[in-house]
Amino acid sequence: MEKRGNRYCRLITTLPLCLAASTAAAENVDNASDQDKDVLTLEKMVISKESEFMKSINTLDMDAAEIARMRSSVSDTAKLLEKIPGVSLYGAGGVSSIPAIHGLADDRVKVHVNGMDITSACANHMNPPLSYIDRSNVGRITVMAGITPVSMGGDSIGGSIVVDSADPVFAAPGEDILLDGNLSAFYRSNGDAFGGSIAAGIANENVRFDYTASHTESMNYNDANGDLVKSTAYQNQNHAAALSFQWDRQLVVIRGGQQRIPYQGFPNQRMDLTQNESTFGNILHKGTFDWGKTEANFYYETTEHSMDIESDKQPAPNGRIIKMPMETRGRNLGYKLMAEIPFSNDEHLFRFGNEFHSNRIRDYWPASPTPTPMMTPNTFINVNNGERDRVGFFGEWEGNWTSEISTLLGLRYDHTNVNAGDVQGYNTMAMMYQNDADAFNARDHERNFDTFDVTALIQYAPNDMAQFEFGYARKNRAPGIYELYPWSTNPMAMGMNGSFGDGNGYVGNLDLDPETAHTVSLTAHFRDPKENAWEFKATPYFTYVNDFIDVDRCGAAGTTCTTSFANNLTSNNTFVYLQYQNHDARLWGIDASGSAKLYSDKSLGQFSASTVMSYVRGERMDGGNLYHMMPFNMNLTLHHELQSWKSALEMQFVDAQDDVQQIRNEIETSSYILLNARTSYTWNKVRLDVGLDNVLDKQYYHPLAGAYLGDQYGMNPTGNNMVPWGRNIAGMGRSVYVGLSIDY
């Protein structure tokens, strides 16, 4: 872990460079105003990549301006979604939160990053899809809560999140070369977090080249009691380039990039990320023709991921520093082909296509360099060349029947093939590893799943003030590699598998069936059509999931795993050992949002208010709660604008979490209220952001943050003198942030 002194040196050398660039950019703006006769002002031509889908009323778009306002206060791209109705975040590392929509998280939410489907290459999902793009490189986010059109992809029973970089900007026809870009830097007091980014582009009317780079890092943060929350430090570096072409209503964008995370602590895992390197490339073509539109996307991504037990979790109870290297190699490859054909005087649209996604996982743990009989002399193979290939075909009919009524009907078929090779343990000791390995290797590992999705939406707008929508979706998700193939029931090995941040141990199940979710929702949207003075929207929803992939404790009826922990079936105050199992489940809840203009005065400015409220409840049909259901939460914000100043005072309320899952021994949390304040000032193309998070320095525990494992050795979940059960992760105490951004 990097020393504090070195970090201050890097901060001292980084910020002046950004400030110098800021001064130069500002001077250029001033000089330009004095020399108008020598300057050619170019018009920009923005070429959008967004398809013209009929959107559900529940679809929410975040544009570049809204995203820019949040960049100084967060380093995790997923945290840009915190104020979207129905969205909550599973706690993880500093740049690796996992989004959940309506209580369904991780692989149940389809996440597109610049057209790519990325599957986590880690047994603990330390590299979820949104961690592969820095928030400074995000130009637009679209969140489809609950019901997703079948054309957006399979494996989307919870919803979809689409994240894109900024659209290419070309010079206007007949104009000269266009140069533009952005420089930014930020600092946050809690954790001494700092970083910066640069974006630069050059274009004429047909060709554009873009380059973006960012660096972010932080030490461990402190909670409101002043205590260090260990294993929360991180460092993140991103580079990306894009070459875009446009001609005769055609657009081609070629992207490539690399991400490097040298380290990232995980306070709710028994391991830390010690290296994550990802390289990607993708090609997008979008064409408009007399008969309709086409879109084609091809992508390739590889990940090299390493984990180990870092210093915050050391030493072991015997006083020794014990290392346990874990390596994962992942690959994602795929394409999507789609066409849109209007008919019936353009009142209707037929959309059809085909897509393919291939994921490969090789998960192996080299023998420990620390002499220990448990983790030598062989390489432990957790997943041997896991394969998950999904090919899908879809068709959608979008109809505009009258000015008041429109519909969307979609059908999709997916075939998913999953397979993996034979495995081995660290050694051939029968009770340690060999019996489990032999039992797993004796079975056929290949699984094939055929699934059908149906989506139906009807929208009714009786007048300019009201809009209603009813939706139904039947969505499926086949089991993932890390749900089928982890095989060892050794306590240590089970503790290293599990993306839930609960500290429990997990083993796979080769007999899992695919999940089938039936969702119905009703949305009512009201607004002031004349003055846009107020707006309100509410969406109650209900989802029934056949064969929901949950867990049972090892030793329970229907499980095939046993454990040496004698109290595994009865304990209510320890970590436990679990196997993935299918169970029917139901989830229901409501999302609501609203805004209103309060007061306007030329001298005092404009005052307005906005709110977002969400609630979800999840239960298994055989009894008990589902895991990590976000309790009622509300965000209430008072906004103020006066000329170039924009300010906000925000209250976050989260109710107590007492509907916990007993099977996992999930820990309850208390309710809390947080107060945040922020302001920004824009001068020409220079923007200054200042904010204060957790103004009252409130000690709190987020319901989805997980179990605190970050400060002690805990390789064996139920071993003696290991990290104790029963502690949640404390949230961050008061923190001041400042950010500077310059467009040019």
**pLDDT tens digits for range 544-580:** 999 999 999 999 999 999 988 999 999 999 999 999 9
pTM for the full predicted model: 0.91
* Residue 649 confidence (pLDDT) above 60: yes
* Residue 50 confidence (pLDDT) above 50: no
Find the mean pLDDT for residues 347-362.
Answer: 97
% residues pLDDT > 70 (the chain): 93
Please compute, for residue 122, the number of CA atoms within 13 A of its CA located in the half-sphere on the CB side.
Answer: 31
Contact 722, 733 (CB under 8 A): no
Q: How many Å apart are CA 744 and CA 740, to the nearest integer?
A: 13
Q: For residue 506, what is the enclosing H or E element? A: strand 505-507
**To the nearest whole number, what is the mean pLDDT of the chain?**
92
Q: How many Å apart are CA 145 and CA 158, to the nearest integer?
A: 7
**What is each CA distance from 299 to 99, 152, 329, in whole angstroms?**
23, 16, 17
Higher pLDDT, 383 or 45: 383
**What is each CA distance from 646 to 44, 68, 531, in whole angstroms?**
26, 13, 21
Q: Helices (DSSP H) in 374-422: which residue ranges?
A: none
pLDDT digits (tens, 9 = 90+) for 185-199: 999 999 999 999 999
pLDDT digits (tens, 9 = 90+) for 239-296: 999 999 999 999 999 999 999 999 999 999 999 999 999 999 999 999 999 999 999 9
Contact 188, 734 (CB under 8 A): no
Q: How many Å apart are CA 38 and CA 32, to the nearest integer?
A: 8
* Residue 31 confidence (pLDDT) above 80: no
Give the rounded distance of the alpha carbon of 166 from its chain centre: 18
Q: How many Å apart are CA 215 and CA 13, to the nearest integer?
A: 13
pLDDT digits (tens, 9 = 90+) for 660-718: 999 999 999 999 999 999 999 999 999 999 999 999 999 999 999 999 999 999 999 99
Residue in the block written with tokens 């008969």: 291
pLDDT at 15: 37
Contact 609, 537 (CB under 8 A): no
**What is each CA distance from 731 to 79, 124, 632, in whole angstroms?**
14, 21, 18
pLDDT digits (tens, 9 = 90+) for 382-415: 999 999 999 999 999 999 999 999 999 999 999 9
Q: How confident is the model at residue 52 (pLDDT cuts 50, 70, 90)?
A: low
CATH superfamily of 59-743: TonB-dependent receptor, beta-barrel domain (2.40.170.20)
Q: How many Å apart are CA 214 and CA 610, to the nearest integer?
A: 32
Q: How confident is the model at residue 372 (pLDDT cuts 50, 70, 90)?
A: confident
pLDDT at 56: 87
User: What is the token pair recorded at 492?
Assistant: 């240590």
Q: How many Å apart are CA 546 and CA 580, to the nearest integer?
A: 15
Residue in the block written with tokens 């020598």: 38
**Domain residue spans of the chain:** 59-743
Residue in the block written with tokens 């996982």: 361
* Residue 167 confidence (pLDDT) above 70: yes
Q: How many residues does the chain have?
A: 744
pLDDT at 53: 62
Q: Where does residue 717 rank: exposed (0-12), middle (13-18), buried (19+ CB within 10 A)?
A: buried
b/e map of 62-78 (b: 16 or more CB within 10 Å)? Answer: beeeebbbbbbbbbbbb
User: What is the token pair recorded at 405?
Assistant: 């009524």
- Lowest-confidence range among 24-33, 221-230, 422-431, 531-540? 24-33
Cβ atoms within 10 Å, residue 536: 15
Nearest CA among 242, 274, 277, 300 for reference residue 116: 300
Q: How confident is the model at residue 36 (pLDDT cuts 50, 70, 90)?
A: very low
pLDDT digits (tens, 9 = 90+) for 594-620: 999 999 999 999 999 999 999 999 999
DSSP secondary-structure letter at 669? B
Q: Beta strand pairing status for 577-601 and 505-507?
A: parallel
**What is each CA distance from 351 to 54, 59, 389, 395, 605, in whole angstroms?**
11, 19, 23, 6, 47
Q: How confident is the model at residue 51 (pLDDT cuts 50, 70, 90)?
A: very low
